[in-house]
Amino acid sequence: MTDIHIRQDGHAGHITLQRPKALNALTYDMCLAIEDALWAWRTDPTIKLILIDAEGDKAFCAGGDIAEMYATGTAGDYSYGQRFWRDEYRMNALIAEYPKPVVSFLQGFIMGGGVGVGCHGSHRIVGETSQIAMPECGIGLIPDVGGSYLLAHAPGRLGEYLGLTTDRMGPGDAIHVGFADLFIPQAQWDKIKSQLCASGDVAGLSQAATPTHNAPLRDVQARIDTLFSGASVQDIVDALSDDSSDFASKALKKLSRNSPLSMACTLDILQRLRAETPTLRRALDLEYRFTSRSMQQGDFLEGIRAAIIDKDKSPKWRHDMGRVPKADIAAMLRPVSGDRLTFEKRSAE
């Protein structure tokens, strides 16, 4: 498959995303190929670690390839998208639960599906160009691929802030929030990758890392914790509206662009996860409840139309901001009645 290069490289199982012109957007076949490789390497004694990287300077992976989802969804076929999400989420969990080190090198844009591939491993490396975000509320989805799990574990109310505003994190913020582990200057990456493959040992990564003190979100943590602590999106909107700061004004503007239903359900999922002992599998299950219904009952198709197809940037959402009935939130997040998300190894087809 030309979209992804999977091979054994010394002691490493090496996965390289290679669609740089498409910002390495993740296709359905790429998801399945990653999953199959991880299962094959799981019990291979010659494989000591997994190395995941990507071609090009602009992006590790800027999201999932949603063109086919839009085409099938607008034709009234929701099963393709549902199957894609089920298989993708199963692969995300496999990375997170892998018994061997999983090292990812995250340059440029890492968004949506890229977070699912790159931000659940044991050693997540960022560099000078890294920009990580969960932009799903802007297209009628929710932070998925396990993104809600990461956001629920973020300090204070940064999860709410990042999930609802879809703001980007630079390398320092990504480490502070919990989406990455180590900052290593990108000029050293090729040398370090070669060492990892030759040795099969991740011990040298921490020695190669350097501190990154630039974490703007950490500097506004207290303000975010105050403004985004509301029980509902309307509470957050009210708090932002009552705050005269430039920060609050910009945050409110970001919220105003996004799907009200998506934001309300994102907040509900984060609250559910925090109310219990959150696990990645639980987060993925809640995410799938939403995404499996997002075409028929949500704003996903309209969000894609406005952002990708017609590019008019004027989506017509189903609700007004802060005015989503609780019944509509509950309907999107009730247990799935059809094919459910499972985490067992995929059966041979």
Question: And the tokens for 114?
Answer: 């890229």
Angle at which helix 260-275 crosses helix 158-165, to 10 degrees, equals 160
Residues 6+ apart with CB under 8 A from 154: 162, 177, 178
**Distances from the Cα of 264 to the Cα of 90, 107, 160, 236, 290, angstroms:** 25, 31, 11, 11, 11
Residue among 144, 167, 173, 287 flagged as catalytic: 144
* Structure tokens that stand for 163 in this block: 């999930």
Q: Which helix (H) or strand (E) holds 5?
A: strand 4-9
Hey, what are 303's tokens? 């969000």
How many Cα atoms occupy the beta-carbon half-sphere of 97 within 13 Å?
15
Query: For residues 305 and 186, what is the distance between their CA atoms, to the nearest angstrom?
Result: 36
CB-neighbour burial class of residue 237 (10 A; exposed 0-12, middle 13-18, buried 19+): buried
Pick the catalytic residue: 10, 64, 112, 303? 64
The maximal CA–CA distance of the chain, rounded, in angstroms, is 60
Residue 146 dihedral angles phi and psi, to the nearest 5°: 85, 5
Indicate if 230 belongs to the active site: no
* Active-site annotation holds for 136: yes
For the question of residue 113 being annotated catalytic, the response is yes
Q: How far, rounded to the nearest angstrom, does the alpha carbon of residue 31 sit from its chain's CA centroid?
A: 14
Q: Which one of the listed residues 53, 65, 88, 136 is annotated catalytic?
A: 136
Name residue 70's amino acid: Y
Please list the residues that pair with 110 across neighbouring strands: 61, 132
> Tokens for 171?
């390398």
Q: Is 64 a catalytic residue?
A: yes
Cα Rg, the chain, nearest whole Å: 20
Which residues are marked as active site?
Answer: 64, 113, 136, 144
